[in-house]
Amino acid sequence: MTDWAKKDLKYIWHPCSQMKDYEDLPPIIIEKGKGMYLYDINGKRYVDVVSSWWCNLLGHCNPRINNAVKKQIDKLEHVIFANFSHKTAITLCEKLLPHLPKGLCKFNFTDNGSSAIEAAMKVSFQYHYQTGNPQKKRFMALSDAYHGETIGALSVGGVDLYSEIYKPILLDIIRINGPDCFRCKYGKCRENCSCECFSHAEEIFKNYGDETAAILVEPLLQGSAGMKVYPPLYLKKLRKLCNQYNVHLIADEIATGYGRTGKMFACEHAGISPDIMCLSKGLTGGYMPMALFITTQKIYDAFYAEYNDGKAFMHSHTYSGNPLACSAAIEVLNILEQDHIIKNANEKSKYFTKMIKDKFLSLENVGEVRSIGLINAIELVKDKKTKEPFDDKLRIGYQIYKLALEKGVLLRPLGNVIYFNPPLIITKEDMDFVTDVALECTKKILHSTAYA
């Protein structure tokens, strides 16, 4: 263990970690980053194929984003965003607007994804309260959802790993059995089904639609659930149901936006527009903490009144609209547009997905390879025929992760799901390397006596 790692453990409590694990796997101290690569203080290189928690969109230390932030810092670092504004925030909204689903036009700045979700939930509740529907005070969400870690965001999440212990203090959420295409109880496949599983959503809306303010959904891809991919038809049906019951559709595009699914936003696959969309992660290319919720003119107008009417949205964050973050976000959009990043990523995704399927599907403990855009997930199972999962206590994914780190690949698993969610700039050479390492490590762990 390096001296820096010892100092780290003396002071730092790392996120989403059992710190006792760090006795066997001390923190890796990163010195610098460049493109797909991270370099530790000993000069060892790691290929960041999970985009450092899915936010690094265009590579580490991208020269153009670097320069944009450097220029901005000499002009304005921050200013209160109540009654004040600045050119970078205005320009960002102006540039982002043409990319958004139709109808979204009003931007509210927060500083992280969870906060954007919280703000969106509050807006939805307050909108209904101020438009004659005070009974609409509950929220719906899908099973296995993930929407963040603050109390409201955690409440609408459905992954027990994160929320189970906190249930006594969470909101009472109306839960819909979400699509599980790998273990579909109707025996269908996501490529050509009619979303028979949507019948549960229809039943829930019939029973609770009148008291529901909004439903939150990760469009097409439930990330923390294990990169679960479901059909666009499900979103189409959900949009129609929300219209029928006057329920807001809140699209959590924090992880799915900015080209991750092959389109700028995952909602585009279904051709639908949400009432509120939440963005973060790729928004600044992984450079700066910033998030947005974007909503319609109709929702905005319900808050527009004389001050003494008490209809203002009294919600704020100190770093709302931070100029440095806005400058990074503007340059991200410039690069996406000028360098045709998403189009090129879609071409590379065909090669990537085929390679992964060719390498992994024949393994006896690989239940499914699922993909959307450049995202590919490999679900490991105890029994391929019955789809019986491995016991989570075996921590097979974690063991593969540790072995891959030794070989210079950063693969942070989701339970027993190994996945690739790389920066959109990944090359075929890097695809070859990371999949070879992942395959080697997966075989070694699965064939060890502990898991045989």
Residue 225: give its domain's CATH number. Answer: 3.40.640.10
Beta strands at 30-34 and 37-40: parallel, antiparallel or unpaired: antiparallel
Separation of alpha carbons 410 and 49, rounded Å: 6
Same domain, 278 and 145: yes
Same domain, 323 and 394: no
**Domain closes at, from 338, 360, 393:** 338
- Residue 212 forms part of a structural domain: yes
Best CA proximity match to 49, nearest among 445, 401, 452, 447: 401
- Residue 452 forms part of a structural domain: no
Same domain, 272 and 421: no
pLDDT digits (tens, 9 = 90+) for 176-206: 999 999 999 999 999 999 999 999 999 999 9
Q: What does 46-66 look like in DSSP terms, one character per residue?
A: EEETTHHHHT--S-BT-HHHH
**Domain closes at, from 338, 369, 392:** 338
Token look-up 């921590």 returns: 395
- Residue 31 forms part of a structural domain: yes
Same domain, 383 and 252: no
| DSSP state, residue 77 | S
Separation of alpha carbons 120 and 34, rounded Å: 35
Same domain, 246 and 284: yes
- Residue 15 forms part of a structural domain: yes
User: Which residues, listed in sequence order, are joined to residue 60 by a DSSP beta bridge?
Assistant: 35
Q: What is the pLDDT of residue 451?
A: 55
- Residue 314 forms part of a structural domain: yes
Same domain, 187 and 269: yes
Separation of alpha carbons 248 and 234, rounded Å: 16
Write out the two tokens for 49: 């194929």
Same domain, 168 and 227: yes
Same domain, 55 and 111: no
What is the domain-level CATH number for residue 364?
3.90.1150.10
Task: Tally the domains of the chain.
Answer: 2
**Domain closes at, from 320, 338, 356:** 338
pLDDT truncated to tens, each residue of the chain (452 aa)? Answer: 899 999 999 999 999 999 999 999 999 999 999 999 999 999 999 999 999 999 999 999 999 999 999 999 999 999 999 999 999 999 999 999 999 999 999 999 999 999 999 999 999 999 999 999 999 999 999 999 999 999 999 999 999 989 999 999 999 999 999 999 999 999 999 999 999 999 999 999 999 999 999 999 999 999 999 999 999 999 999 999 999 999 999 999 999 999 999 999 999 999 999 999 999 999 999 999 999 999 999 999 999 999 999 999 999 999 999 999 999 999 999 999 999 999 999 999 999 999 999 999 999 999 999 999 999 999 999 999 999 999 999 999 999 999 999 999 999 999 999 999 999 999 999 999 999 999 999 999 999 855 55
- Residue 451 forms part of a structural domain: no
Q: What are the strands of the beta sheet with 409-410, ordered from one edge? A: 30-34, 37-40, 45-48, 409-410
Q: Which residue range(s) make up the domain with 308?
A: 66-338
Best CA proximity match to 101, nearest among 272, 300, 336, 298: 272
- Residue 226 forms part of a structural domain: yes
Q: What is the pLDDT of residue 448?
A: 85
Same domain, 348 and 333: no
Same domain, 121 and 186: yes
- Residue 162 forms part of a structural domain: yes
Same domain, 56 and 121: no
Same domain, 131 and 150: yes
